[in-house]
Structure 1
């Protein structure tokens, strides 16, 4: 049976290959040839076209493709108390955390929502998980003056994200995804060893992150769906961490109170489906990232059906869905595939979903 509520049987993570018009406009902005408002108008037009194209390909959701930002830290950089470095690749906490009233994301969402309503699809928004802000730099990236106790930092982090969730809901967001590569790091023995060398207990860190996320989403209304995407890093065949989900599966699937997960299973480094046994029976859904987003090589439809059936040995088929393993443009320049190949993969997800769960 198909789903009328997210996550949908054919879903996708979010980012899509960016049009040359946007790349050209950004270059012009950098050179001073156009203004930031000119760039925003160009983005608005391209997002409108993108939303309708997602609908035309049979998807029941639409994202803005990540057309507005250059990476997940843009959201974090807009939080009070956070400061990005010059290249936007790392962040420091220099003051008290808060979700400010002038954060740009709620306003940006309204544009996506308006076009999604016309196209009769559900607008999906993605933001980095709260764990990302801590894990990237650890204690060294958090001001001792602002937060002499790490416990106070975690408390404010949870409150900041709860406020963000409420603000996005108030603007109309009903499908929100936390992008959370941290859990992939915690799957890796090499990464866990690095944490041990830093004096950090990886198992305890799991519980800390789970409590923060659960607090952040605890007051969401029943008509708001929040999912987690466990990204493993996917820029041009590279990755952040290897290892099956077993070390984190119980905490992630049973301990965090989100509505669903997008888990990458497009290659051997993610392990098998056995860890899915921790998913509680009920309404939670695991979206299996079985379709590669890094190259144009097209997966076999029978093979995708077979792998869904294999996963159904551990989780009821009604609690499964299908998607590309990650976004198609995790970096601004995208991956080694064309736009046509990208859309062919999304159409494949829709076709397989229709075959497995019916139209």
Structure 2
């Protein structure tokens, strides 16, 4: 992907609100009441429309809205992850002995994820989370578990992602596009009853996901790796570990990802870091300064991260003491998915200028904190993207004049 030398480019993290028509089509397909050809026709048309709307809004680096990652309702915090279940062989839905319900307590040097509902912020604010947000920790629910060797079976699905986005780009006249895909570390959060170790399981996922990565990049598109496990996992280890133990713990995830990316051009890869997309209190997020050295070790050219939400907006100053490797660029979030308040374009411009002051204006692409689809009403999501592009225009006038 080529960066601009005369203005601040804009993009977003991936997920965009799905129309009611697409939600209903996904539900009908799941129920077996919609013909596959009719579904694909609807999906292609919806992607074309969402690409056109991004271009109309002023977004430079567009995507398919992650419309190939099925959602059957307006609010869905997990489609970025659950889409992979249907694209992977060797998984079975398990109810008895559901590993999602196993509560683990870690010890130094032996860290383990606990259940989602047992994470430290969710226990600290138990009343809020049990009354306001579904933890998804239903003991009677089925959960995907690897019961045999896993394999990639999503060839048709990723081909559809690529085909629909490229058609949308051509129709709308967009200049660049990206497709989001799961990281091995996050994919390995499903249950494992086949592989001998967590490391073996993550590298098995690396082998599987490499095929999806190559399908995206071989088509000339940018690959965005979604990997909240790098940062979000900190809150899901109980009791709180030392930073040193945690950084050692996530090194396997980084190594597995770099293994999956071998042979893929670095300039076609960007990596997304986040602390969790749900609307709720975050007080145990790992500070960005502890992850700053991990990011450049990932074989990507661009790094996207949350920088607008109330827990992380101050951390732009961390970059004052960092050296961005030559040829790399950052994609900070300058509007947030975590609030319904639409940012003023002047605030967006100021945030962009803060990052430009510490890494150079040519190395900044303005973005959102995380995906907007499934988290915000569509009117709010598009208003935020408009504020993003207007803020980038304001910042560009001041930075490049």
Same fold at TM > 0.5: yes
Deviates more, 1:225-234 or 1:308-317: 308-317
Matched, 1:206 2:253: no
Aligned to 2:346: 302
Q: CA RMSD in A?
A: 3.1
Q: Is the 8 A contact 1:291 1:345 kept in 2?
A: yes
Following superposition, the deviation at residue 131 of structure 1 comes to 0.9
Following superposition, the deviation at residue 150 of structure 1 comes to 4.1
The count of residues paired between Structure 1 and Structure 2 equals 338
TM, length-normalised to structure 2? 0.74
Matched, 1:80 2:89: yes
Cα offsets for 1:99-126 (capped at 9, x unmatched): 3474521233212212212222223211
Q: Is the 8 A contact 1:228 1:261 kept in 2?
A: yes
Residue of 153, 163, 166 corresponding to 1:110: 163
Q: Is the 8 A contact 2:158 2:212 kept in 1?
A: no
Shift in CA distance, 203/31, structure 1 to aligned 2, threshold 3 Å: closer
Residue of 200, 211, 228 corresponding to 1:152: 200
Cα offsets for 1:121-156 (capped at 9, x unmatched): 22321111111023x25xxx222xx32244433433
Q: How does 1:155-174 map to 2 (within 5 A)?
A: 155-170=203-218, 172-174=219-221
Matched, 1:251 2:298: no
Following superposition, the deviation at residue 238 of structure 1 comes to 5.8
Residue of 349, 366, 377 corresponding to 1:322: 366
Cα distance between partner residues in 2 of 1:89 and 1:287: 36
Q: How does 1:189-268 map to 2 (within 5 A)?
A: 190-194=235-239, 196=241, 201-221=245-265, 225-237=268-280, 242-252=285-295, 254-268=296-310
Residue of 209, 214, 225 corresponding to 1:178: 225
Task: Give structure 1 stretches of 5+ with no counterpart.
Answer: none
Cα distance between partner residues in 1 of 2:23 and 2:38: 13
Shift in CA distance, 274/89, structure 1 to aligned 2, threshold 3 Å: farther
Shift in CA distance, 31/313, structure 1 to aligned 2, threshold 3 Å: closer
Cα offsets for 1:180-209 (capped at 9, x unmatched): 1112225x4x54544759xx9422122212
